[in-house]
Structure 1
């Protein structure tokens, strides 16, 4: 099995597609596609529907790439950090790589110890998506990608048609629109966008994002066991190191929180976002006082996974820069982890003909 990704890396033709409405519609080769609006640009590859870079100014006008990633598609193919990827069919962890749906037991591919993580060994982040529409510039730069997930893929029931659109608008707004239609069987669907953010610039060194401030609009979270599997409880953050309702530096409490492995500390935590699930509402605000950049996230999902790059360990990224622990943070809006095994969690089941919809809006300022 290990030979397949290597062959893909060697055989796929990598292109830099720089403009033209619908120029790449229907293509099934691997490419890199730039969306550009003034001095704001985002690059996307259809390998894993992955965001490979996000470039914008700081408070003094200096441009920097604030998304961690690699220089080559081959590195994304063989990487294990999910940099910028669209993960699914079910993001995050499923306990014991199994669940019961409508009385039937389904067994998934265990790729995180005995658990399934981010869709399994060959999740949506490890496949080629089809470019359905691409407009690189102009008033509305956007790209729409499509993937057909077959019945039984990684153990999940039913066929699913999945679309994601990345879209730039002014001033400095990146929108992500995901939808998935269950075609013939009930199935869980829980997609997440897994970009690693460092508002000071990817690989900028120093203390990484520990000096960033973060505010989460969430008054509850889902505690986990030693394997980072939710216990099933949803508890208040008040009085705990998980309370980020007021702007707090990432480093303030990061070493008080068990990170899922002996000697590893940091947030890898699902928060229950305040407000009505399904409605667009403010999820988080992140600020970097050095560069002056800020990022505001809005979304319509019940939860958000806040991850502080606990497992980054001297990963060589773009331009040879080395990404270390706490070198970036992720804000992955989502359904609750392991929801398929917790009836009290918001359901992630989509019935035949039903459509899963997940919208995110990143608003950048400086």
Structure 2
């Protein structure tokens, strides 16, 4: 196992470094310290061929001009917050408005657009990249100085674990996720409509037209949102359910997980034979099927378009700050925020 480092770019006079973790099976994961972005994951198909299974770019300029959060860590609060504001202990905090009138994925300059400090840790059976960042009091409107770590660990079982740890010097809100777009076909040979997804989830959050949760939690029974026995992504595209239609003919929905850390999320592509099993300690996963991907740029020579990739964002509920019956995203002073998700790549 080894980690290879090389210069990726410069941003405002600071060097952006790319780190490639390579395990004994030849699997590779490349990450840059700008936004902790996963730029590439080379995983084997059923014949052992290693190909890239995530959407990403080779230059920093493309990330800055075109990227809809490809591969990045998003925070301080992932997902949308209605009217870009929330109230905590009687104080209303106004956040950056970067999604019409709402706040999305941490704001105008969230965790995805800053350079993180990095420590490389190598052992005989695993590799780790420990990224750290201090989000200062008032950044993008959030209270408290938040010290956050994101740790990416690769082992020889072809498992990537992403864990987060954070503490704040005053009461604040935290909800962090990784925003990788997966496409198991390899090197973007096809879209993701034939991918089969299995979710241990009995219900999902109803969305308004602007994709903010209404507060209602709906049953998946007899809908295209029932992934309990597995179904193809194209079912949501073809569905006439209003919730599928408003998401751009697909999905952009938080699913409430019925189990944790027990193979609760499985994605499979029959043609390549690649599979991805995700386990997390988070209460929800947001399934986003790339319905808003634009077509005015290319991704390593492939024209960007709807359904070219899908996200499985393990996290707390979006807009939970405005829905008291949702699990809380509040982090008390000196309390430790902890989140962990494991991605196992199988064939």
| Matching residue of 1:32 | 18
Structure 1 runs of 4+ aligned residues shifted over 3 Å read 135-138, 257-263, 315-318
Please tell me whether residue 124 in structure 1 is matched to residue 107 in structure 2: no
* Distance in 2 of aligned mates of 1:142 and 1:173: 12
- Structure 1 stretches of 5 or more lacking a match? 1-16, 21-27
Verify the 8 A CA contact 2:53 2:184 in the aligned structure 1: yes
* Distance in 1 of aligned mates of 2:322 and 2:305: 34
Please tell me whether residue 284 in structure 1 is matched to residue 265 in structure 2: yes
Please tell me whether residue 271 in structure 1 is matched to residue 247 in structure 2: no
- Structure 2 stretches of 5 or more lacking a match? 7-13
Verify the 8 A CA contact 2:35 2:73 in the aligned structure 1: yes
* Distance in 2 of aligned mates of 1:65 and 1:160: 34
| Matching residue of 2:11 | none
| Matching residue of 2:203 | 220
| Matching residue of 2:186 | 201
> TM-score when scaled to structure 1?
0.88
Matches within 5 A, 1:310-329: 310-314=291-295, 316-329=297-310
| Matching residue of 2:331 | 350
Q: Deviations over 1:21-53 (max 9, x none)?
A: xxxxxxx73111000003111000010011111
SS of 2:51 mapped into structure 1:
strand
Verify the 8 A CA contact 2:244 2:251 in the aligned structure 1: no
| Matching residue of 2:82 | 95
The number of residues matched between the two structures is 336
Verify the 8 A CA contact 1:33 1:136 in the aligned structure 2: no
Please tell me whether residue 180 in structure 1 is matched to residue 166 in structure 2: yes
Per-residue deviation, 1:319: 2.5
Q: Deviations over 1:151-172 (max 9, x none)?
A: 0000011110010111111221
Matches within 5 A, 1:220-299: 220-256=203-239, 264-275=248-259, 280-299=261-280
Per-residue deviation, 1:270: 0.2
SS of 1:96 mapped into structure 2:
helix
* Distance in 1 of aligned mates of 2:247 and 2:345: 34
Matches within 5 A, 1:86-165: 86-131=73-118, 133-135=119-121, 138-165=124-151
| Matching residue of 2:63 | 76
* Distance in 2 of aligned mates of 1:311 and 1:258: 17
SS of 1:18 mapped into structure 2:
strand
* Distance in 1 of aligned mates of 2:285 and 2:148: 21
| Matching residue of 2:10 | none
SS of 2:300 mapped into structure 1:
helix
Q: 1:139 to 1:323 in 2, by over 3 A?
A: same
> TM-score when scaled to structure 2?
0.92
Q: Which has the higher strand share?
A: 2
